[in-house]
C-alpha cells in the first residue's frame, strides 16, 4: 500500500489573504530541501503531500522536522475514496498494530462522498470489531487513534503524528541581517528570527590578527548549523581591525565597547541596505553585559533608524542555552576562541553611557571613511552545503 507524508500547515491557516503565498513559499522551500530525493510533492489549501521512496523516509523526516511552517505531519496510507476500499485497507493497516481499544476520527472534505463523517465512523468501527478479536471502542482514552481524511480522489489513513517546527515558512518575510558572533546568543537569535519567516544573511566582525582564523571558522560552522533550517545563508565577513584599533587608541577605555558597537550598527545598516535587508537582528539580551543595559542599547541604537530585532532580549541565559542545545549550536558556541569583543574588553565598561560623550570621542577619527572601507572590503561566503547536510549533519 502506498504511503505519503501528509503535512498540516497550522498557523498559516490564520493568514486568510496571504494563504496562497504562504503555501507556495512552503512548497518551494520543501522542494528545494528535498531536491536530492526521489519525491513528488503536491499541495492544496489545507494539506501538502509528499510521495517518497521507503528507503529515504528516515532522512526525509529529519529534513522535514527542521522546515518552518509545518505544524504537524503524518505518514499516511493512501486509499481510494470508496467505502469498501477504505474498510479493507483500514483492516490491513490496523492488523499490524497492537492495541486493545481504539477510536476512529473522520474528516470529510469531499462532500460528494455518500456518508457523513458521523456515519463513516460506526461503519469502519463495526468492520474492525467484526474482524479483530478482543478489541473495543474507547472514545476518551483509546490505545490507538485512527484518523481518516476523505478527499475527492484519494483518502488518507494514519495512526501516527509528528510535531513540526511551527513558525512561518522562510521567505514569507523580508530579509534580515544577523550579527553572528561565535557566542551562544546570536545563533539562537538567528534561529528564532528564521522561525518567523525571515530570510537571513549573517555578518561577522573580525579583527585579525587580534582574532584568529579559528574564531572565523567557528562562525562558519555556526552558519552551517543554521543553514539546516533554511536553504542558504550568505555570511559576510567584515574586517574590523582598523576601526577597533582606532577606537582603543582614541576613546576612553570605559567607552570602547559602546563606540565599537555603534560602529558595528553603522556597518550593519550599510550592509543591510546593500543586500536588500530591512532589519538588523542580534543576540542582545537585556542586562546581560554592560553594553546591553537599556541605556547602552539606546545610545548604541541611536546611530540607525533601521529596526533592530532582538529575539532573545527577554530570555534568561539558561533559556537561551536550552534553545542552543536543541538547535545543536551550543557545542560549537562554547569552543574557546576569542571574539573581537572579548579581545579588547575593558575592565569596567560604562553601564550608563552618554550619547554626547560618544559623539565627542568619535569626532577624533574619520570613522565614516573607515566604515566605507570596511563595507567595501567585505568578504562573502555563500553557505548552502546540501551535501554536507545530507550526509554529515543529518545522519
Ligand atoms: P553571544 O551574545 O552570541 O553569545 P557574545 O556574548 O560574544 O556572543 P555579546 O557581547 O553579548 O556577544 O554581543 C551581543 C550581540 O552582538 C551578539 O549576540 C551578536 O549578535 C552581536 N555581536 C557581538 N560580537 C559580534 C561579532 N564579532 N560579529 C558579529 N556580531 C557580533
Ligand atoms: Mg551575549
Q: Tell me: the pLDDT tens digits for 48-64?
A: 999 999 999 999 999 99
Torsion of CA 297, 298, 300, 306, to 10 degrees: 100
Q: Quick one: pLDDT band at residue 342, thresholds 50, 70, 90?
A: low
Atom of ligand 1 nearest to the CA of 289: 11
Note whether 89 and 77 are within 8 A (CB): yes
Q: What's the distance, CA 320 to chain centroid?
A: 15
Q: What is the DSSP string of 187-208?
A: HHHHHHHHHTT-EEEEEEEE-T
Note whether 59 and 35 are within 8 A (CB): no
β-partners of residue 308 are 280
Rounded to whole angstroms, how far apart are CA atoms 218 and 323? 18
| pLDDT for residue 389 | 44
Common-topology check for domains 3-163 and 175-394? no
Closest ligand, as measured to the CA of 184 = 1
Rounded to whole angstroms, how far apart are CA atoms 279 and 69? 21
The answer, yes or no, to whether residue 368 has pLDDT greater than 80, is yes
Rounded to whole angstroms, how far apart are CA atoms 259 and 249? 12
Closest C-alpha to ligand 1, atom 6: 183
- Residue scoring higher pLDDT (65 or 46): 65
Q: Quick one: pLDDT band at residue 1, thresholds 50, 70, 90?
A: confident
Mean pLDDT of the chain: 93
- Residue scoring higher pLDDT (219 or 387): 219
- What are residue 21's phi and psi, to 5 degrees? -60, -45
The answer, yes or no, to whether residue 338 has pLDDT greater than 90, is no
Q: Say yes or no: CB of residue 204 within 6 Å of ligand 1.
A: yes
Rounded to whole angstroms, how far apart are CA atoms 167 and 70? 7
* 241-250 vs 367-376: helix crossing angle, rounded to 10: 160
β-partners of residue 42 are 49
Closest C-alpha to ligand 1, atom 10: 341
**Per-residue pLDDT reduced to its tens digit, 272-311:** 999 999 999 999 999 988 889 999 999 999 999 999 999 9
Gap from CA of 31 to ligand 2 centroid (Å):
35
Contacts of 247 (CB under 8 A, 6+ apart): 256, 259, 260, 263, 344, 365
Rounded to whole angstroms, how far apart are CA atoms 209 and 245? 11
Closest C-alpha to ligand 1, atom 14: 284
| pLDDT for residue 339 | 67
Rounded to whole angstroms, how far apart are CA atoms 330 and 185? 9
Q: List the grid coordinates of 271.
A: 550592509
The answer, yes or no, to whether residue 386 has pLDDT greater than 60, is no
Q: Say yes or no: CB of residue 341 within 6 Å of ligand 1.
A: yes
Gap from CA of 320 to ligand 2 centroid (Å):
10
The answer, yes or no, to whether residue 394 has pLDDT greater than 50, is no
Note whether 154 and 47 are within 8 A (CB): no
The answer, yes or no, to whether residue 387 has pLDDT greater than 60, is no
pTM value is 0.92
| pLDDT for residue 393 | 42
Gap from CA of 288 to ligand 2 centroid (Å):
7
Atom of ligand 1 nearest to the CA of 333: 4
Q: Say yes or no: CB of residue 244 within 6 Å of ligand 1.
A: no
Q: Residue 205, CB half-sphere, CA atoms under 13 Å: how many?
A: 28
Gap from CA of 59 to ligand 1 centroid (Å):
33
CATH for 175-394, options being 2.60.40.1120, 3.40.50.620, 3.40.50.720, 3.20.20.330: 3.40.50.620
Q: List the grid coordinates of 78.
A: 493512501
Q: Quick one: pLDDT band at residue 388, thresholds 50, 70, 90?
A: low
By mean pLDDT, which of 241-250, 313-322, 385-394 is the weakest? 385-394
Question: For the chain, how long is the longest CA-to-CA vector?
Answer: 89
Note whether 230 and 364 are within 8 A (CB): no
Q: Say yes or no: CB of residue 284 within 6 Å of ligand 1.
A: yes
| pLDDT for residue 288 | 87
Pocket test of ligand 1: the residue of 180, 186, 272, 301 to mutate, having most ligand atoms within 8 Å of its CB, is 186
Note whether 86 and 151 are within 8 A (CB): no
Enumerate the domain spans of the chain: 3-163, 175-394
Other beta carbons within 10 angstroms of residue 377's beta carbon come to 10
Note whether 169 and 24 are within 8 A (CB): no
Closest C-alpha to ligand 1, atom 11: 284
Task: Characterize the bridge pairing of strands 70-80 and 154-158.
Answer: antiparallel
**Per-residue pLDDT reduced to its tens digit, 226-275:** 999 999 999 999 999 999 999 999 999 999 999 999 999 999 999 999 99
| pLDDT for residue 392 | 42
Gap from CA of 300 to ligand 1 centroid (Å):
14
Q: Rounded mean pLDDT of 125-139? A: 95
β-partners of residue 157 are 77, 148
Closest C-alpha to ligand 1, atom 5: 183
Atom of ligand 1 nearest to the CA of 178: 20
Atom of ligand 1 nearest to the CA of 257: 10
Gap from CA of 258 to ligand 1 centroid (Å):
13
The answer, yes or no, to whether the previous bond of 231 is cis (omega within 30 of 0) is: no
Q: Say yes or no: CB of residue 332 within 6 Å of ligand 1.
A: no
Fold of 3-163: VC0802-like (3.30.2130)
Q: Residues, the chain, total? A: 395
Q: Quick one: pLDDT band at residue 15, thresholds 50, 70, 90?
A: low
Closest ligand, as measured to the CA of 341 = 1
- Its sign, for the CA torsion 91, 97, 101, 103, is negative
Contacts of 202 (CB under 8 A, 6+ apart): 177, 178, 179, 180, 190, 219, 223, 226, 233, 234, 235, 236
Burial of 315 (0-12, 13-18, 19+ CB in 10 A): buried
Note whether 59 and 19 are within 8 A (CB): no
The DSSP call for residue 114 is S
What percent of the chain lies above the pLDDT cut of 70?
94
Rounded to whole angstroms, how far apart are CA atoms 178 and 308? 10
Q: Quick one: pLDDT band at residue 336, thresholds 50, 70, 90?
A: confident
| pLDDT for residue 111 | 86
Q: Rounded mean pLDDT of 133-156? A: 95
Q: Quick one: pLDDT band at residue 207, thresholds 50, 70, 90?
A: very high
Gap from CA of 299 to ligand 2 centroid (Å):
18
Q: Quick one: pLDDT band at residue 172, thresholds 50, 70, 90?
A: very high
- What are residue 67's phi and psi, to 5 degrees? -100, 120
The answer, yes or no, to whether residue 110 has pLDDT greater than 90, is no
Q: Quick one: pLDDT band at residue 153, thresholds 50, 70, 90?
A: confident
Amino acid at each position: 500500500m502506498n504511503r505519503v507524508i501528509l503535512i498540516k500547515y497550522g498557523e498559516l491557516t490564520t493568514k486568510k489573504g496571504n494563504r496562497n503565498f504562504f503555501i507556495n513559499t512552503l512548497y518551494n522551500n520543501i522542494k528545494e530541501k528535498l531536491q536530492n530525493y526521489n519525491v513528488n510533492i503536491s499541495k492544496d489549501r489545507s494539506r501538502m503531500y509528499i510521495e517518497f521512496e521507503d528507503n529515504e523516509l528516515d532522512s526525509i523526516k529529519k529534513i522535514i522536522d527542521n522546515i518552518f511552517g509545518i505544524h504537524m505531519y503524518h505518514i499516511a496510507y493512501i486509499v481510494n475514496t470508496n467505502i469498501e476500499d477504505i474498510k479493507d485497507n483500514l483492516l490491513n493497516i490496523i492488523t499490524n498494530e497492537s492495541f486493545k481499544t481504539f477510536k476512529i476520527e473522520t474528516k470529510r472534505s469531499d462532500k460528494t462522498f455518500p456518508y457523513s463523517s458521523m456515519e463513516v465512523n460506526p461503519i469502519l468501527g463495526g468492520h474492525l470489531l467484526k474482524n479483530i478479536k478482543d478489541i473495543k471502542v474507547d472514545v476518551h482514552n483509546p490505545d490507538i487513534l485512527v484518523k481518516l481524511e476523505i478527499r475527492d480522489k484519494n483518502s488518507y489513513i494514519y495512526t501516527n503524528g509528528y510535531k513540526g517546527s511551527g513558525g512561518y515558512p522562510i521567505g514569507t518575510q523580508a530579509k534580515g541581517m544577523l550579527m553572528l558572533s561565535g557566542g551562544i546568543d546570536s545563533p539562537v537569535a538567528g534561529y528564532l528570527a528564521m522561525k518567523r519567516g525571515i530570510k537571513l544573511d549573517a555578518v561577522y566582525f573580525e579583527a585579525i590578527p587580534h582574532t584568529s582564523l579559528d574564531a572565523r571558522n567557528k562562525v562558519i560552522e555556526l552558519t552551517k548549523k543554521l543553514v539546516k533550517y533554511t536553504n542558504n545563508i550568505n555570511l559576510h565577513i567584515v574586517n574590523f581591525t582598523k576601526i577597533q584599533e582606532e577606537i582603543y587608541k582614541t576613546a576612553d577605555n570605559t567607552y570602547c565597547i559602546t563606540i565599537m558597537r555603534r560602529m558595528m550598527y553603522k556597518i550593519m545598516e550599510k550592509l543591510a541596505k546593500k543586500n536588500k535587508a530591512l532589519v538588523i537582528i542580534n543576540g542582545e539580551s537585556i542586562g546581560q553585559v554592560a553594553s546591553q543595559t537599556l541605556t547602552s542599547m539606546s545610545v548604541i541604537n541611536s546611530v540607525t533608524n533601521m529596526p533592530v530585532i532582538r529575539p532573545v532580549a527577554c530570555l534568561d541565559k539558561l533559556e537561551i542555552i536550552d534553545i542552543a542545545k536543541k538547535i545543536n549550536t551550543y557545542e560549537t558556541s562554547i569552543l574557546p576562541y576569542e571574539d573581537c569583543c572579548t579581545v579588547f574588553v575593558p575592565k569596567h565598561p560604562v553601564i550608563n553611557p552618554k550619547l554626547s560623550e560618544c559623539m565627542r570621542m568619535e569626532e577624533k577619527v574619520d570613522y565614516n571613511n573607515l566604515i566605507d572601507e570596511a563595507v567595501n572590503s567585505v568578504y562573502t561566503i555563500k553557505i548552502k552545503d546540501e551535501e554536507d547536510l545530507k550526509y554529515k549533519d543529518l545522519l
